[in-house]
Structure 1
Amino acid sequence: MTDTDPTEEEAPDGLLGWCLVANVAQETASGEGGLDIRRGTKHFSAGTLLWIPPVRWDPGHGRWRAVGRHRGDGRRYVNMVVRADHLENFRVKGVYSEGLVRGLNGYRHDPAAPRTLQNPWTRERAQSWADARNDLREPVFVDDRPYALPRVSVPNPPPAEIQVDGETLHLAHYGPRGARYSRTPPPVEWTPEP
């Protein structure tokens, strides 16, 4: 996916930097087994634009720091840690707002330089992250164990059958934690003869 914003050479006046952005997914799964489905997240409505600064610290596997307008107070930018799988439609956008710069900088914001991003993305790096996140692949588990060598992944949604090392694997379950395949074929439904 490419962005339609101007390139570095043709950057418009007022551009303060580039940033990776994404929208909060329409439906997010949480709770035990991912069975609690809700619109958006606790802090952000579905479709909210979130600005994702470059990673300075790791808040946990599959979680990223994001800046956006809170569900309850849509005027201010707030910093939150969100699950990466609750985000969709990754792309690159230009930063023009001093308020957004303050949110992206966080505790490193320098009031003497309110228009300076402390840890900026390059446009190319942000675009490569966006492309990688938009082409998600699901991990494969065979008989409830990760399929180790070679590392296998499938597209989303996963196919009903895959061939790995000459072996046919059958889709047994698909959920928010990946595709579960089995070596045993699914049972054939019995139908009585008329």
Structure 2
Amino acid sequence: MTDTGPAEEETPDGLLGWCLVANVARETSRGEGGLEIQHGTKHFRAGTLLWLAPARWDPGSCRRHAVGRHRGNSRRYVNMVVCVGDLENFRVKGVYSAALVRSLNGYDHDPAAPRTLQDPWTRERAQSLADSWNRHREPLFIEGRPYAHPRISVPNPPPAEIQLDGETLHLARYGTRGAHYSRTPPPVEWIPEP
């Protein structure tokens, strides 16, 4: 998804920098096997705009540092580590607020330069990451593992069978948050003879 804002040469008045943003997904999965569906996350309502800062430290697989307005207090920005799988509609947006800059900078914020992003995104780098995360591919879950496979995703709609590490996996179920595969084949449907 491309940003329809002004080009790099046409810097708008008051622009403090570019940032990768996303919305909290309408439905997020929790619990064993991702079977518990909830609206939004514990800290953010569904549809909340989150500003994703460039990674200063590695919060773990498929997780990013984000700044947004908390579910309980919509006036202040909070810093949280969120799962990328709980986000949708990635895009690039301009930063204009000094309060947002302070939250994005975190502990690295310099009070002498309150309107300076310490580790800014370039517009091209943020757009590249947004495009890669917006591709319509579904995460792959394998029964017995609590998280999605880190390197593999499947097209939408997912195939009935896939080969992974020399074994055949069968589609067990397909839901709003990805394709779940099993090592056991599906049961054969019994059809009575006439």
Does the TM-score normalized on the shorter chain lie above 0.5?
A: yes
Give me the TM-score of the superposition, normalised by structure 2. 0.83
* CA distance in structure 1 between the partners assigned to 2:144 and 2:24 by the alignment: 32
Q: Which amino acid aligns with 2:52?
A: I
Paired residue total: 187
Runs of 4+ off more than 6 Å: none
| Counterpart in the other structure of 1:80 | 80
* CA distance in structure 2 between the partners assigned to 1:143 and 1:72 by the alignment: 35
Report how far residue 35 of structure 1 moved. 2.0
Report how far residue 60 of structure 1 moved. 1.6
SS at match of 1:132: helix
Asked if 1 retains the 8 angstrom alpha-carbon contact of 2:52 and 2:65, the reply is yes
> Are 2:53 and 1:53 equivalent residues in the alignment?
yes
Q: Deviations over 1:90-133 (max 9, x none)?
A: 11101111111111011111111111000000000000110111
Distance change >3 Å, CA 20–CA 152, structure 1 → 2: closer
| Counterpart in the other structure of 1:127 | 127
Distance change >3 Å, CA 24–CA 153, structure 1 → 2: closer
Asked if 2 retains the 8 angstrom alpha-carbon contact of 1:138 and 1:158, the reply is no
Asked if 1 retains the 8 angstrom alpha-carbon contact of 2:19 and 2:51, the reply is yes
Root-mean-square deviation (CA, aligned residues, Å) is: 2.8
Asked if 1 retains the 8 angstrom alpha-carbon contact of 2:138 and 2:179, the reply is no
Report how far residue 64 of structure 1 moved. 1.0
* CA distance in structure 2 between the partners assigned to 1:178 and 1:160 by the alignment: 10
Percent identical residues = 72
SS at match of 2:82: strand
Q: Deviations over 1:55-81 (max 9, x none)?
A: 010112121110000111111111011
SS at match of 1:56: coil
> Are 2:7 and 1:20 equivalent residues in the alignment?
no
SS at match of 2:115: coil
> Are 2:123 and 1:109 equivalent residues in the alignment?
no
SS at match of 2:118: coil
* CA distance in structure 1 between the partners assigned to 2:169 and 2:35 by the alignment: 26
| Counterpart in the other structure of 1:138 | 139
Report how far residue 193 of structure 1 moved. 4.2
Give me the TM-score of the superposition, normalised by structure 1. 0.83
| Counterpart in the other structure of 2:63 | 63
Structure 2: 5+ residue runs without aligned partners?
A: 146-150
